[in-house]
Amino acid sequence: MLAGTWNPLAFGCLLFVVLVAQPPSALALTDSEVTRSLEALGEYEAAWPLTLTEAQRANDYQTWRALYQNRGYRAFDTDHRAYRGAWEQARSRNAEPVYRDFMTLDPASPQNAVAVRAVFLLRRELDTIEGYRDFMADFPGSVESVEALLRIHEIAFARARAPDDPAVYDAYVRAFPAARQVPEAVELAFQAERLACEQDLHTGPGGLPLPFVTDDKRDRTARRLFNDARRAEKTGDTLVAARKQRLLALDLFRDTPAYTEQLDRAERLDWQVAQQAHQQRVEAAFGTLATAVIGAIEAQTRHLEVGVQAQTQRLESAIADHNRVLDERLQSVSGALDSGLREAGARIAQVQQASDQRLAEVYGNLNAGLARIGSAVGDQTQAIDRAAADARWENERLFSKAQEQASRQGYLARRCNEELTRKGRYGFFSPCK
């Protein structure tokens, strides 16, 4: 049997014989010992009821956890008793380390969402910003991380309201720009600084209350607000700059020189913006004009090129026709001469002088024809050169005219800008209207 294949029935019989042969005191085995023996033999199906009973008897988190992690029992734990037992004990202990350990048993289990909620509720009992930040770092994709962030906003806002200081409110807005408490924080900062300004205006030397506000003190306070707003704008602190400008617009400072200067400054900024927009429109108009002029010049050049090409083709065709006619005439004359020579071969001596005269006349006519052809070719060449020169002159005239128009437009725009800058409006006879 030892040398053959494994036979569970034979092994069970042998185990029964051994147990029967033992004294009664030796047969007192515990469930744990029997379970370990069956596990050592690989008999997990037989050991499952004993293991489950032992886990139910112990009923603690570590026992259920160990049972769930034992892969030998996975096939027999059809109703997930071990996993559910571990969760019940984790919930009974209600400790964050236990919940975190439970989530490692099956990272893909939906039950982990409940465990995350339980961890959040434990952090909610402590209710600290540090605890919520750690929770958001550990569980960034959970719904509870949003609740943690909102609770951080609430705690930080409550802390910011305690001193009721504009600087503290500003720090809160910069730290949590997306918080829903930001509008309230901005308004509270404004009210706190407004109250501080009013108290300062009604407080005299030595902290004594004043029955009325002096114009000098009101002007100094308004000047301080105006300067604080300008410094905040230069440093990019739009939050403080907006609050200072809003304070300066209170009825308390409406008649101060600082408020008047603030209005003048706003008007100058608006005028500069309008001038920049006007300059951009003028530059765009110049660009459009230059594009149109260049397009007209290019179109005129293309039109002239087409005319010159057509005239050149006609001239070449006329010269070719003239040469062809000349060749035909030369061939005809040569044929007549050859025929006359063959027919009058016997009379060459008698009519030598007449033939020489005739040939001289023919060659004279031929030279005259060639001279006329050369003269015609020269006339056509000069006509082509004149047409090309006229085209270049026309292009230069159009380009010069476009430059002159652009210069006049630029001069007019500068003159209009100078007149508008100097007078603030266009004169009655101004050409800029």
Helical H runs in 344-433? 352-423
Range of the domain at 337: 287-377
Given pLDDT bands bounded at 50, 70 and 90, which one contains residue 409? confident
Helical H runs in 178-214? 182-201
Q: Is the torsion defined by CA of 37, 39, 40, 42 positive or negative?
A: positive
Burial class, 101, CB count within 10 angstroms (exposed 0-12 / middle 13-18 / buried 19+): middle
Burial class, 216, CB count within 10 angstroms (exposed 0-12 / middle 13-18 / buried 19+): exposed
Decide: 252 and 218 in contact? Cβ < 8 Å: yes
Decide: 288 and 409 in contact? Cβ < 8 Å: no
Tally of structural domains, the chain: 1
The yes-or-no verdict on residue 146 having pLDDT over 90 is: yes
In this structure, is residue 324 part of a structural domain?
Answer: yes
> Measuring CA to CA, which residue among 143, 146, 148, 118 is closest to residue 133?
148
Which range of 182-196, 292-306, 390-404 scores highest in mean pLDDT? It is 182-196
In this structure, is residue 332 part of a structural domain?
Answer: yes
The single-letter DSSP state of residue 2 is -
The single-letter DSSP state of residue 351 is T
The values of phi and psi at residue 203, to 5°, are -115, 130
Dihedral angle over CA of 142, 147, 151, 157, nearest 10: 110
Q: Which residues contact 45 (CB under 8 A, 6 or more apart)?
A: 76
In this structure, is residue 328 part of a structural domain?
Answer: yes
Q: Which residues contact 43 (CB under 8 A, 6 or more apart)?
A: 8
pLDDT (tens digit per residue) in 16-67 = 444 444 544 444 566 667 767 776 767 778 778 888 888 899 889 999 998 9
Given pLDDT bands bounded at 50, 70 and 90, which one contains residue 264? low
* Backbone Cα Rg of the chain: 55
In this structure, is residue 291 part of a structural domain?
Answer: yes
Q: How many CA atoms lie less than 13 Å away from 391 in the CB half-sphere? A: 18
In this structure, is residue 315 part of a structural domain?
Answer: yes
pLDDT attached to residue 231: 94
Q: Report the alpha-carbon distance of residue 147 to residue 157 in Å, rounded.
A: 15
Q: Report the alpha-carbon distance of residue 102 to residue 82 in Å, rounded.
A: 12
In this structure, is residue 112 part of a structural domain?
Answer: no
> Measuring CA to CA, which residue among 90, 68, 85 is closest to residue 77?
68
In this structure, is residue 107 part of a structural domain?
Answer: no
CA distances from 82 to 62, 115, 246 (A): 11, 17, 66
Q: Per-residue pLDDT averaged across 257-280, rounded?
A: 71
| % of the chain with per-residue pLDDT over 90 | 35
CA angle, corner 171, sides to 167 and 173, nearest 5?
A: 115
In this structure, is residue 416 part of a structural domain?
Answer: no
pLDDT (tens digit per residue) in 414-431 = 888 887 787 777 666 677
